[in-house]
């Protein structure tokens, strides 16, 4: 089943947040700091999908 670009963006949005959680778990970085950093990386594909290539 083919998906479009926006479905792919929605699929990868949790990946930076999960990477931030893994970073917090593997290092001594706090969970809030790691999730904050992950959310900054998660906003990039969202902004691209909303403002550069809108549906």
Q: Which residues contact 30 (CB under 8 A, 6 or more apart)?
A: 24
Of the pLDDT bands very low, low, confident and very high (cuts 50, 70, 90), residue 53 is confident
- Mean pLDDT for the chain? 86
How confident is the model over 16-32, as pLDDT tens digits?
Answer: 999 999 999 999 989 99
- Predicted local confidence at residue 1, as pLDDT: 45
């Amino acid at each position: 089943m083919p998906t479009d670009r926006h479905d792919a963006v929605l699929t990868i949005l949790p990946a930076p947040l999960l990477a931030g959680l893994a970073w917090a778990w593997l290092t001594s970085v706090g969970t809030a700091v790691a999730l904050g950093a992950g959310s900054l990386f998660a906003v990039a594909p969202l902004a691209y999908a909303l403002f550069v290539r809108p549906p």
